[in-house]
């Protein structure tokens, strides 16, 4: 029997594990929501239990696996699988030997841990829109912004393993929007889900009207990726202005990535791509305005080709890279 991959997607609200074939097809997946209030040791136990139940359910053992990959929402020191920071999990992940503590529970199968955006990047390269290219960049735009860079078929990691953190690159230093990292004007503050309400407030101040009853006072309650999409479908001027501002900022980031890496393709994923063609068209248009005649070969900007279960498929693909 051909060996399978196991991918574990550890998110802030949902912990899921799936069995994935070598060609990137999910054959079974299970999840739990019990981990959210646990510390790092408790989460390791939840992961081990989840993988064990998945194997039992499919009448398999760890010997049937080629590897277990875990995608972590935060910084990971890739060399030893230590987590450095976590964006949305409870405390206890600062300098935590995550990979080693999971590995203890398995005898033969090797465990891999990486940042979830890196994991999704590798899956996109292996199975998605980046398939067939030696170099590519993946940028995920959702609550926050993450990215990964493939150079010559390998993830670029840098000294720590955090290369590609495009969300914290500063694109508007004069901005008064403060990022979670403490700096002003990071790409995240201009484009991602966490800052949509702040973008809305600035737009309202500049005189843009909302037909959805959004005001400076209630923006934080009313504005999110989904309500902006609804507004967009409804012809709401404020929603359109938010989408365009996010797109323009993403375009600046993609332009900077183009100048740094000259990739043949940049793939976009994450919840905000549900805004659809108006979003990607604006990104492409702004990107080309910036790139002018410096673009000697075409560079593609596409949406992800891996939809559902991208987190699991990404994590499962990590053993193939390592």
Write down the least CB distance from residue 150 to Zn ion, Å: 23
Nearer to Zn ion, 47 or 186 (CB): 186
Nearer to Zn ion, 40 or 190 (CB): 190
CB-based contact 257:290 (threshold 8 Å): no
Write down the least CB distance from residue 101 to Zn ion, Å: 29
By three-state DSSP, how is residue 17 classified?
Answer: strand
Query: Token pair for residue 239?
Result: 């929603």
CA distance 189 to 145: 10
Write down the least CB distance from residue 130 to Zn ion, Å: 26
Write down the least CB distance from residue 12 to Zn ion, Å: 18
What sections of 73-195 are H helices per DSSP? 98-103, 116-127, 187-191
CA 74 to chain centre: 10
By three-state DSSP, how is residue 75 classified?
Answer: strand
Residue numbers at the binding site for Zn ion (CB under 5 A): 168, 179, 181, 183, 186
Write down the least CB distance from residue 253 to Zn ion, Å: 12
Burial of 176 (0-12, 13-18, 19+ CB in 10 A): exposed
Nearer to Zn ion, 144 or 269 (CB): 144
What single string gives the DSSP state of each residue in 265-295?
EEEEESGGGGGTHHHHHHHHHHHHHHHGGG-
Write down the least CB distance from residue 316 to Zn ion, Å: 29
Nearer to Zn ion, 178 or 222 (CB): 178
Nearer to Zn ion, 186 or 316 (CB): 186
Nearer to Zn ion, 183 or 256 (CB): 183
Neighbours of 222 (CB within 10 A): 17
């Amino acid at each position: 029997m051909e060996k399978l991959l196991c991918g574990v997607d550890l998110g802030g609200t949902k912990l899921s594990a799936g069995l994935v074939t070598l060609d990137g097809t999910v054959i079974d997946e299970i999840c739990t929501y019990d981990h959210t209030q646990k510390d790092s040791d408790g989460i390791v136990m939840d992961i081990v239990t989840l993988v064990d139940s998945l194997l039992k359910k499919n009448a398999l053992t760890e010997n049937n696996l080629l590897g277990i990959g875990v995608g972590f929402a935060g910084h990971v020191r890739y060399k030893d699988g230590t987590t450095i920071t976590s964006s949305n999990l409870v405390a206890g992940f600062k300098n935590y030997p995550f990979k080693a503590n999971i590995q203890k529970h398995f005898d033969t199968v090797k465990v891999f841990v990486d940042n979830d955006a890196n994991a999704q990047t590798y899956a996109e390269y292996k199975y998605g829109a980046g398939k067939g290219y030696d170099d590519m960049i993946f940028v995920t735009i959702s609550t926050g912004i993450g990215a990964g860079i493939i150079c010559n078929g390998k993830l670029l990691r840098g000294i720590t393993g955090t290369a590609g953190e495009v969300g914290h690159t500063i694109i508007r230093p004069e901005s008064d929007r403060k990022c979670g990292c403490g700096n002003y004007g990071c790409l995240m503050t201009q484009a991602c889900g966490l800052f949509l309400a702040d973008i809305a407030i600035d737009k309202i101040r500049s005189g843009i009207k909302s037909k959805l009853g959004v005001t400076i006072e209630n923006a934080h309650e009313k504005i999110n990726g989904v309500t902006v999409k609804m507004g967009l479908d409804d012809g709401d001027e404020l929603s359109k202005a938010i989408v365009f501002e996010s797109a323009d900022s993403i375009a600046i980031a993609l332009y900077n990535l183009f100048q740094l890496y000259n990739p043949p393709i940049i793939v976009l994923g994450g919840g905000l791509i549900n805004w659809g063609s108006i979003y990607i068209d604006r990104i492409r248009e702004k990107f080309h305005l910036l790139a002018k005649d410096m673009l000697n070969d075409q560079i593609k900007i596409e949406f992800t080709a891996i939809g559902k279960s991208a987190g699991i498929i990404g994590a499962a693909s990590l053993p193939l890279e390592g």
